[in-house]
Amino acid sequence: MKQPTILDVAARAGVSKSLVSLVMTDPSRVGEANRKAVLEAAKDLGYRPNAVARSLVQRRTGVIGIVLSDLHNPFFADVADGIEAAASERGYRAMLSSGFLDPKRERSAITTMLELRVDGLIIMGSMMKVGRIEGVATALPVTLVGRHTRSKRLDSVCTDDAAGAREAVAHLAELGHTRIAHIHAGSAAGSPRRRRGYEKEMIKRGLVDRIRVFRGDFTESGGAKAMIEILNSGDMPTAVFAPNDAAALGAMEVIDDAGLDIPGDISLIGYDDLTLSGLPRISLTTVGQPRTDLGREAAQLVLERLDEGREDARHVVVPPSLVIRSTTGPPPGDADAQPSEDPQ
Amino acid sequence: MKQPTILDVAARAGVSKSLVSLVMTDPSRVGEANRKAVLEAAKDLGYRPNAVARSLVQRRTGVIGIVLSDLHNPFFADVADGIEAAASERGYRAMLSSGFLDPKRERSAITTMLELRVDGLIIMGSMMKVGRIEGVATALPVTLVGRHTRSKRLDSVCTDDAAGAREAVAHLAELGHTRIAHIHAGSAAGSPRRRRGYEKEMIKRGLVDRIRVFRGDFTESGGAKAMIEILNSGDMPTAVFAPNDAAALGAMEVIDDAGLDIPGDISLIGYDDLTLSGLPRISLTTVGQPRTDLGREAAQLVLERLDEGREDARHVVVPPSLVIRSTTGPPPGDADAQPSEDPQ
DNA sequence: ATTGTAGAGTGGAACGTTCCAATACGCATG
DNA sequence: CATGCGTATTGGAACGTTCCACTCTACAAT
């Protein structure tokens, strides 16, 4: 099991370790004969450069760490794709770790990344306070995905959650809804803004006293639980705005199980536009975010600091877009149904 | 940005670097006064042990690498959860990398893991040939998830894919189906066995000449494409057995779009039992695998080699279980409908 | 007084690379 | 024939830890 080192290769090829190192990094700078000898020796021995030793002397690992809150949320998978693509174009590789929706485990995932000395860190859907994350940003470039901040110490990229939420509520209001409830995900990344957007739009439309907010989270089961509460609240809304698609799916399940019709009895709207949500069976109205672009942008921000020496914080906000499908419609008993916004 | 080292801490605390090292690993072996001084100095400086340097001297990283073929497949997320849980219980941490459904990129992901000197490797849903992976297993413990092999050099854990496939076909046959088509995913992990299970059961039931196999893959779009081909084949089956749930969802979408009813016109069955598949709107009949357990078992296999010195290969096969939901029913025009197997 | 022992702390080698300054060698130039 | 120069190669110092063998001190046992 003992792995061969550069010295073993050097000995076998009859050259110095420095020459082997040269061949491994830039073969063109080495004479024909020696190059061949080294490559052959390396192959014979099954030599693989030890990135640990290399990182130690170079004081860089070439790895961008990604910490995400939930491996199950396909939203992150797309963002991660974007990050990986951008990173590998620039000679970095991405390594991923999950926070399992638990601030403590997220913290420990981040610590691990720091100890491994990743060159940059991208944190998505964080459950932690921005303040704590800022502390980390003194050691390496950090980009937050999906969370708004004006921090001077780290970068961020997200969609305008408040605007997305307002669009969602506006869409419902224009369909004639007034009793619009919102499920929120506490202080998890993005959630506070979406909630505020919901509230603002409700206020703007004169629906202040119709504001109903229920606590859930960004998962299917969180959405389901909140929906059960809504159904039991004795104050049934005609529309529900979920904090994301995963939660919306959970809510949908509860509504279906209760024998209610979507959107006949209750309209439902999510956030994220997962591929899944576009399935005909689901056809969830939702607020879309350009996921892969979000990821590319996040990687770009890290790389700018790493390779171009940028020092000042940048915060990128991209606009969300409402995707109207078939889980939203006029409220029940609405005489003037079929307005132009009605899907299908 | 320059990070403090153990020497900085030692200087500030007025002790030797060795003492600092001791405090960091086992504070109880150090005198009260010095321990406090060291901890305070470390805190003041924001010292974080450099895992790269530590790994170099210890010749271990404490990291279990996970390489999976597709970040989007929630199946892997659950398995990864299991791995992470088992690993962290034993003091290891898990780090993840995606192969993006491309054997080349998978190879490069594995190379990266090897260069980073992870202590063990778990490969899920691999697109590579087992032979190539075996080469890797000489350097560290490797466990394959979801792929059958009798290799003497690496471990594996998977469900009995052939048995699962046969159960699926048997279920359809008992409902009265004879024209049962199968979408397969080429040589991707698990697919060949499922295909063979399908064929065997078809033969056993005297349906040899009804065997129809279409090429797809383990993704939604792969399933959709194959389904389009099936619909255009001019030989419409009454049931389709997809290689996994993701592909089944793609197929479902195509069937829905074609205006056909599931299971009225065509029955559909998947493999994996994603959480998603249990949603009332989807309610996909499928073959279930104990995902988290699969992950725990995989981690266990790696850890046995790492910490207990096991040398011989172990291959764990766990039984799959058919989950009957509402995408399967009697074939159209079947007079004696509603057999006892009918769901609901 | 001598010896032994335990506890606390230290210095230096090692881990496997990269990088830099230095060397060796050939060959053209004056 | 000395000089200079470019190319190919080398040895040694880093990188930041851990680990081991060792020293030092205090104190108990003989």
Predicted confidence (pLDDT) per residue in A60-113, tens digit: 999 999 999 999 999 999 999 999 999 999 999 999 999 999 999 999 999 999
One-character DSSP codes across A118-156: -SEEEEES--S-HHHHHHHTTTS-EEEES-----SSSEE
- For residues B245 and B235, what is the distance between their CA atoms, to the nearest angstrom? 23
Does B341 have pLDDT greater than 80? no
Determine the distance from the C-alpha atom of residue B283 to the mean position of all C-alpha atoms in its chain, rounded to a whole number.
Answer: 22
Q: B138 touching A, CB under 8 A?
A: yes
Q: Which residues contact A308 (CB under 8 A, 6 or more apart)?
A: none
- For residues A145 and A338, what is the distance between their CA atoms, to the nearest angstrom? 38
User: Could you give the C-alpha distances from A102 to A68, A105, A113, A126, in angstroms and in order?
Assistant: 11, 5, 16, 9
**Residue range B33-53: mean pLDDT, rounded:** 95
* Contact status, residue A325 vs residue A267, Cβ threshold 8 Å: no
Going by C-alpha positions, the residue among B288, B276, B70, B326 that lies closest to residue A276 is: B276
Strands (E), chain A: 63-68, 93-98, 120-124, 142-145, 155-159, 180-184, 212-215, 239-241, 267-269, 286-288, 315-318, 321-323
Name the strand (E) or helix (H) holding B299: helix B291-308
CA A22 to C1' D1, whole Å? 36
Weakly modelled stretches of chain A, pLDDT under 50: 337-344
Q: Please tell me the predicted confidence (pLDDT) of residue A1.
A: 55
Buried b (16+ CB within 10 A) or exposed e, A208-241: eebebebebbbbbebbbbbbbebbeeeeebbbbb
Q: A107 touching B, CB under 8 A?
A: no
One-character DSSP codes across B79-93: HHHHHHHHHHHTT-E
Q: Please tell me the predicted confidence (pLDDT) of residue B342.
A: 43
Q: Please tell me the predicted confidence (pLDDT) of residue B1.
A: 55
Report pLDDT digits (tens) over B182-225.
Answer: 999 999 999 999 999 999 999 999 999 999 999 999 999 999 99
Q: Which of B72, B111, B116 sits opposite A77 (nearest CB)?
A: B72
Window from A334-338, B262-266, B321-325 with minimum mean pLDDT: A334-338
Which nt is closest to the CA of B16, judged by C1'?
C10
Task: Give me the percent of chain B exceeding a pLDDT of 90.
Answer: 92
Q: A275 touching B, CB under 8 A?
A: yes
Please name the residue of chain A whose CA is at the shortest distance from the CA of residue B221.
Answer: A275
CA B307 to C1' D22, whole Å? 31
Report pLDDT digits (tens) over B280-319.
Answer: 999 999 999 999 999 999 999 999 999 999 999 999 999 9
CA B23 to C1' C7, whole Å? 15
* Contact status, residue A195 vs residue A244, Cβ threshold 8 Å: no
Q: How many residues does chain B have?
A: 344
Q: Which residues contact A136 (CB under 8 A, 6 or more apart)?
A: A110, A114, A121, A142
Q: Which of A48, A56, A282 sits opposite B281 (nearest CB)?
A: A282
Contact B257 A280 (CB under 8 A): yes
Q: Please tell me the predicted confidence (pLDDT) of residue B333.
A: 81
Q: Please tell me the predicted confidence (pLDDT) of residue B344.
A: 40
Q: B257 touching A, CB under 8 A?
A: yes
- Helical ranges in B175-244 per DSSP H: 191-204, 220-232
In this complex, how many residue pairs, one in chain A and one in chain B, have their CB atoms less than 8 Å apart? 125
Window from B4-18, B92-106, B145-159, B329-343 with minimum mean pLDDT: B329-343
CB half-sphere exposure, B2, CA atoms < 13 A: 4
**Residue range B235-243: mean pLDDT, rounded:** 97
Please name the residue of chain B whose CA is at the shortest distance from the CA of residue A259.
Answer: B280
Which domains are seen in chain B, by residue range? 6-49 (1.10.260), 59-160+290-320 (3.40.50.2300), 161-289 (3.40.50.2300)
Name the strand (E) or helix (H) holding B22: helix B17-25
Q: Mark residue A260 as left, alpha or beta (left: phi above 0; alpha: psi -120 to 50; beta: remaining).
A: beta
Q: Please tell me the predicted confidence (pLDDT) of residue A339.
A: 46
